Structure 1
Amino acid sequence: MEEKPSNGIKGLKHWRYDLGAGLQVALVSLPLSLGIAIASGAPPVTGIVSAIIAGLIFPFLGGAYVTISGPAAGLAPALLSGMLLLGGGDLAAGYPLVLVAICLTGLLQIILAFMNAGRFAIFLPVTVVEAMLAAIGIMIILKQIPLLVGDLSPVAPTSVDSIVKMPQTLINIEPVVFFIGALCLFLMFYLNATRHQWMRRIPAPLFVALLGLALATAMGLDADYLITMPESILEGGITVPAFEEMFNRPELWVSLLIVVITLTLIDGIESLATIAAVDKIDPFQRKSHPNVTLRAMGVSNVLSSLAGGLTIIPGGVKSRANIDAGGRTLWANFYNAIFLIIFLMLATDIISMIPLAAVAAILIYVGWRLCEYRVFKKTFTIGRDQMVIFLITVGAILLTDLLWGILIGMVAEVFMLAYLLTPSFRAVLTGRLTFSQSVELVVRNFVGLFHNPIIKVRNDIRDGREHYEIYLGSLVCFNLLPLDKLLQQIPEDASITMIATESGRIIDHTAMEYLHHLQEESLRRRRPFELHGLENYYQFTQHSLSARMHDAALVRREAQLSARAAEMREVAQRHGLDFNPATLAILDPHGFVYLRRGDRKQERHVMTGRYRDCDVKVFDYSHTAAPDYYAEHLHTLVVVRLPEKGPELPDMVLAPGHYLKRYLVDYRELDPPEASGFPEGYRIYSRRSDESALASAGHMRDFLHRYPGVYLEVRSNALLVFRPDRELETPEGIEELLEVIEHCLEDSPSPADDDVSDADPAEEGAS
């Protein structure tokens, strides 16, 4: 689409998509909001109140596009701890007091947003943030197990207490409650993992809540094990913050400050992380504004607290549901709120029949997704150094609390970097360094972690545009801010070259993610961007974003090729192609739709060169994608750039079945002629006129018949082809995919310039 969907009044023209998405989000949001409130130690209705306020406010303040805001499970442990701290162990007494903390948190967020504080998030090591989320997942599971088995004893104040209390909890199992909870938990895992689309039409949380309701009714479950809802929402469902009590009790002010700092820190970290993750799966590839979103969350939190609601942040689960349902703008939040109001007005009695065990099952699944074993596996793949930081942070959070755990994780990151830069004590023992020299070197390296990484900047004119050449030393999370500030001052149309110099000692994982983000942003803005010097830095692991240390000798040492690398190198040599076994973060210069989706996108075993008069690139590609954010998907891809004097093909996608349909927002689906002999089950999507696209697709007919199941995409006269039902191709399979060139170089029609349709293809049913 020439014009991407925008928020505000202009976004109302997409009401058909947002209205349907809002309904589906509300069906997911209802049981989740109830569960989050229960996990926070607050009355269940407060979760729905929070979601309603978020939906009514967020669309008017903007900052994102398809993100759904509301109460989030990530803050439930912090809210529960805050209530216990401020209430002296009494949740009922602590709830009105924690509302004061939420209100102050919102005001602080508004101030931070106007100070452009979102940029300071780059100081936080990526691994510490991910460890925080994993620890939150573990805390959610520990707190919900008692409700799953029917233990209604007072909640344990800390994670350690929850673990100590676990044997007693298992003794107090109520068989009926446990049966309902266990069945609901099994279905949460099964329904979210099944490949049967008909089983996923009803959101899993809603199905589990309704099943729990039916079982609780059939088995006559006691009211103590059901959700408690007020008879009147306006009279008994709204609690106001206890400002006067807090003002008159100075002994609580230090505790209040701790709760506010904790909520602000976690709310900010998780909000920024969530909108960044949602941007990556936005079919329209729009960019959210972190500080505007932070301000919107601040206003929402103030209003939520005044109505007795919980903290509000962008939610990953609900945002995913919104995208899958076709939501296009923030108005989906508004419609979600309207539907929740309707549910609250008409279905309060039904909601009060849902068993706590079913809600606990939903939250345990949410917690598991934050801390499952693949989270640990992914961190270990990035590097053992990151695994150490990850485990230290998780352990510190569980043994103390979220605020202290994050601070301990950051201190551990500092010491890890300092240790990596510290010379071996053998250098002192062997006389290569004196003790004073080694101490001086340690101090210098430690200070360098916080020193400006920019060595010098050169400004000139290159290829008719302004060009900046930036020389860098060591680059880590703690000194990224000066570089980020410099980049914000450079004109958007200027080209950039970054050079990691030999004077740099280390580039950590967070800095590697930052540099890759710069590459992707520059590619999206069509800004020339080059990164040099990394070839002299030794990678800790084969992961493209692992930390690196400057060591040219290690880099030059010949690496032992794996069996797959040797196999791919042989194919490259047979066809006269260059081969690179390294693992790299992939870029998408052609704008292929397939390469937009997912996260952690990497290429390895890359073959490049000329093949049959075309520029080709063959590589093993991996990425993660929702809902399995830590499961790696593998395919072998072939990219072909057709010669300039050859046939010009229109942008189109030939996909088996409905594969990738929701991402084809700027394409329209075409119906092939009945007599065309086009393979059954294949779908044709195009951005140009029907005739040219159908004619070009016809040239691929024999290829698709010969190799069924192939996905083929044409973008900017470049082709991408692979088989979604296979992982890594054999050498023979690669040869088969390369045959697509023969079909493309036949006399394909060249679409006329005036064939481009002015209609909005998405409005005609593309998604």
Structure 2
Amino acid sequence: MKTGLFSNLKNDFPSGLVVFLVALPLCLGIALASGAPLFSGLISGIIGGIVIGFFSGSHVSVSGPAAGLTVIVLDAIFSLGSFEAFLAAVVIAGIIQFALGVAQAGIISHYFPSSVIKGMLAAIGLILIMKQIPHAVGWDADYEGDLSFFQADGENTFTEILRATEFIQPGALIICVVCLAILLIWEIPAIRQKMLFKLIPGGLVAVAAGILLNQYFDGNNSDWALHGEHLVTIPVAASTAEFLGQFTFPDFGILTNINVYIAGFTIAIVASLETLLCIEATDKLDPLKRITSTNRELRAQGIGNMVAGLIGGLPMTSVIVRSSANIDAGARSKMSAVIHGVLLLLSIILIPTILNLIPLSALAAILLVVGYKLTKISLFRKMYQLGWKQFVPFIVTVVAILFTDLLQGILIGMGVAIFYILRNVYRSPYRFEEDKDGHRQRITIKLAEEVTFINKGSMLLTLRKLPENSIVTIDGSGTRNIDYDVLEVIENFKETAQYKNIELKLKSVHDNQPGVLG
């Protein structure tokens, strides 16, 4: 594959266009959910594409305002007293993230089990599907950024879907079905091979069809025509001065308040964790299986958040929804992320009125397809076939994310995965072999390569159960390290062995901890 920044424009431009269409309502919705000016969400989308896209080492991830930060942002704006004071916290968060990248903290992403990452992807796919159903049928009372299960209005994801079925808008449903049909046609292998279908992304055709259908309904004065909350809503500036007036600058007078540092630290940690997880997941989705430098990514996110805070944007992370749409559309390099940011910038300057014609049900069709690809039934089947050690953490992560949020769900899934890891380690600190030596039982306990304090309990129980009058050899010749706690258990067993008339032999046990015992 060509590696120059502009070498893959035939793939990256259509991908950037699709991501732009997906990101547009998300930027606005997340800003609304965060209690921030709508324009701040668009600023973050632009910076996430152009600035982070330029500095990032990831070829296919896309950054922008994240639903996982909405509650933190909302609380921070309220506690600090103003949006301008909050922007100072965003700048601080960016500085902390950059410092984490310099300190090589990105390595933490390598310690997340594959089952948890796949569970995260599947959960996000399900969330996308469930959250887009109301938009697909024309019930747009909720905003796009409301991605939590339990919502501020007392509703939840399931009740919102049920309510949506009571308010079906025929025009929205028809537009969504037509757009879905177009997207599915674009997925047929024989169709995708044709040059025309390679050059024109299905997402663009679907959106264009959605606009034309709605204009047809409107031109015929049909009740099916969509208006207001059923369409994309971008602030339209009447002049250059009005456009520039939408930018907000931080109030650094708040720096004497300890709460701004607490808010900045909280944003930095949560945003960094979400970014690292999304980068790990995006690398798994990348068809070319390229590996992203997580430390470089943290530095890029830090720069992006510093810039966002300085000109009135929301904090950002790498976002799996946009990244998935980017990969699905055929992106080959980070130029697609930059293009999506440039398109966001140009759109709010040049064509905000045209973009405000796009039906949300058309965008819902794009996200429904993206969601399905993330959470195919075949993925659940494959994880089940891998056994309980993989399936349980996977399914727990899925359910936990659905009913809490991204970060809490991942932590719960991690807890379950760690339980299985610890149980594995607890059960296999050694290999137990036994045979007969005349009338006496001969037992050999061959220690594993690493024997940690976690194995202390298992070793203690095993030694206690050894039969009287036996010959026992504890073999540490294949062990690189034996924890002090385990060595202490072995040393204490010497007295028990004498009492039970056990002939105890230690082979290369203390070699692994010179000078510690006996």
Under a length normalisation based on structure 1, what TM-score does the superposition of the two structures give? 0.47
- Change over 3 Å in CA distance of 1:215–1:97 after alignment to 2: farther
Hey, which of these two has a bigger chunk of strand by percent?
1
Matched, 1:196 2:204: no
For residue 80 of structure 1, report the CA deviation from its aligned partner. 3.9
Give the structure 1 partner of residue 57 of structure 2: 63
How far apart, CA to CA, are the structure 2 residues paired with 1:271 and 1:246? 33
Amino acid at match of 2:200: I
1:180–1:212 CA contact under 8 A, matched in 2: yes
Give the structure 1 partner of residue 13 of structure 2: 23
How far apart, CA to CA, are the structure 1 residues paired with 2:182 and 2:105? 42
Give the structure 2 partner of residue 274 of structure 1: 282
Which consecutive unaligned segments of at least 5 residues does structure 2 have? 151-155, 219-225, 429-450, 457-477, 483-508, 510-518
- Change over 3 Å in CA distance of 1:338–1:39 after alignment to 2: closer
Give the structure 2 partner of residue 400 of structure 1: 404
- Change over 3 Å in CA distance of 1:22–1:310 after alignment to 2: farther
- Alignment match of 2:326 (pick from 318, 321, 324): 318
Give the structure 2 partner of residue 153 of structure 1: 141
Deviations 1:600-631 (A, max 9, x none): xxxxxxxxxxxxxxxxxxxxxxxxxxxxxxxx
How far apart, CA to CA, are the structure 1 residues paired with 2:85 and 2:228? 28
How far apart, CA to CA, are the structure 1 residues paired with 2:241 and 2:23? 18
Matched, 1:369 2:373: yes
- Change over 3 Å in CA distance of 1:336–1:354 after alignment to 2: closer
Amino acid at match of 2:105: A
Deviations 1:308-329 (A, max 9, x none): 25625373442564656xx6xx
Deviations 1:64-96 (A, max 9, x none): 4x446433xxx74314444555578xxxx9987
Give the structure 2 partner of residue 213 of structure 1: 211
How far apart, CA to CA, are the structure 2 residues paired with 1:322 and 1:154? 31
2:271–2:317 CA contact under 8 A, matched in 1: no
How far apart, CA to CA, are the structure 2 residues paired with 1:120 and 1:333? 25
**Bigger shift: residues 25-34 or 250-259:** 250-259
How far apart, CA to CA, are the structure 1 residues paired with 2:125 and 2:53? 29
Secondary structure, aligned partner of 1:219: helix
Deviations 1:425-459 (A, max 9, x none): xxxxxxxxxxxxxxxxxxx877259xxxxxxxxxx
Give the structure 2 partner of residue 40 of structure 1: 30
- Change over 3 Å in CA distance of 1:287–1:257 after alignment to 2: closer
Secondary structure, aligned partner of 1:301: helix
- Alignment match of 2:173 (pick from 175, 178, 191): 178
Hey, which of these two has a bigger chunk of helix by percent?
2
Secondary structure, aligned partner of 1:398: helix
How far apart, CA to CA, are the structure 2 residues paired with 1:348 and 1:144? 23
- Change over 3 Å in CA distance of 1:159–1:319 after alignment to 2: same
**Bigger shift: residues 231-240 or 246-255:** 246-255
- Alignment match of 2:454 (pick from 415, 428, 447): 447
1:271–1:313 CA contact under 8 A, matched in 2: yes
How far apart, CA to CA, are the structure 1 residues paired with 2:122 and 2:163? 25
Give the structure 2 partner of residue 263 of structure 1: 271
For residue 421 of structure 1, report the CA deviation from its aligned partner. 5.0
For residue 125 of structure 1, report the CA deviation from its aligned partner. 1.6
Under a length normalisation based on structure 2, what TM-score does the superposition of the two structures give? 0.66
For residue 397 of structure 1, report the CA deviation from its aligned partner. 2.2
- Change over 3 Å in CA distance of 1:166–1:300 after alignment to 2: same
Give the structure 1 partner of residue 232 of structure 2: 227
How far apart, CA to CA, are the structure 1 residues paired with 2:427 and 2:377? 34
Amino acid at match of 2:26: I
Matched, 1:139 2:127: yes
Give the structure 1 partner of residue 68 of structure 2: 78
- Alignment match of 2:116 (pick from 128, 135, 155): 128
2:12–2:331 CA contact under 8 A, matched in 1: no
How far apart, CA to CA, are the structure 1 residues paired with 2:56 and 2:128? 30
Give the structure 2 partner of residue 460 of structure 1: none
How far apart, CA to CA, are the structure 2 residues paired with 1:145 and 1:321? 22
- Change over 3 Å in CA distance of 1:340–1:229 after alignment to 2: closer
- Change over 3 Å in CA distance of 1:262–1:54 after alignment to 2: closer
How far apart, CA to CA, are the structure 1 residues paired with 2:158 and 2:85? 27
Deviations 1:633-661 (A, max 9, x none): xxxxxxxxxxxxxxxxxxxxxxxxxxxxx
Give the structure 2 partner of residue 419 of structure 1: 423
2:68–2:407 CA contact under 8 A, matched in 1: no
Q: How many residues align?
A: 411
Give the structure 1 partner of residue 386 of structure 2: 382
How far apart, CA to CA, are the structure 1 residues paired with 2:76 and 2:133? 25
How far apart, CA to CA, are the structure 2 residues paired with 1:272 and 1:234? 42
Which consecutive unaligned segments of at least 5 residues does structure 1 have? 6-10, 425-443, 450-469, 475-502, 504-767
1:188–1:362 CA contact under 8 A, matched in 2: yes
For residue 265 of structure 1, report the CA deviation from its aligned partner. 0.9
